[in-house]
Amino acid sequence: MIPIGNRRRATRSPMSPEDISTPDRESIQRFVREHRQQSGLTQRQLAELVGCGVRVISEIENGKATLRMDAVNRVLAAFGKRLGVVDLRTEDRQ
């Protein structure tokens, strides 16, 4: 066990949430909103279906830059989808 005083601090990843392009967030928020509405579900009903809070659904649909991936995947799974590794476009590479 590592004593508390000797634990390493988490380093910031090279990409911050702001670095994630808006079109990526927009495509997820648009997908969730459209599929929820097409399924005739309210945000509350979708939240109950996937086992999360209404706030999570609202934050996804409003394009919040920082979300827990497991929560997003639970919501996407309701529509047969999940997050995955996607190649960066040339203009998005650092």
Each domain of the chain, given as residue ranges in start order, spans 21-80
CA distances from 26 to 5, 41, 44, 49, 68 (A): 41, 20, 21, 23, 16
d(CA 77, CA 69): 12
| For residue 9, pLDDT beyond 50 | no
The answer to whether residues 65 and 18 touch, using CB atoms and an 8 Å cutoff, is yes
Give this prediction's pTM: 0.71
Residues contacting residue 17 through CB under 8 Å, at least 6 positions apart: 65, 66
Length reported for the chain: 94
Architecture of domain 21-80: Orthogonal Bundle (1.10)
Residue with more model confidence, 91 or 12: 91
pLDDT for position 76: 96
Predicted confidence (pLDDT) per residue in 10-66, tens digit: 444 455 555 555 668 889 999 999 999 999 999 999 999 999 999 999 999 999 989
Predicted confidence (pLDDT) per residue in 50-84, tens digit: 999 999 999 999 999 899 999 999 999 999 999 98
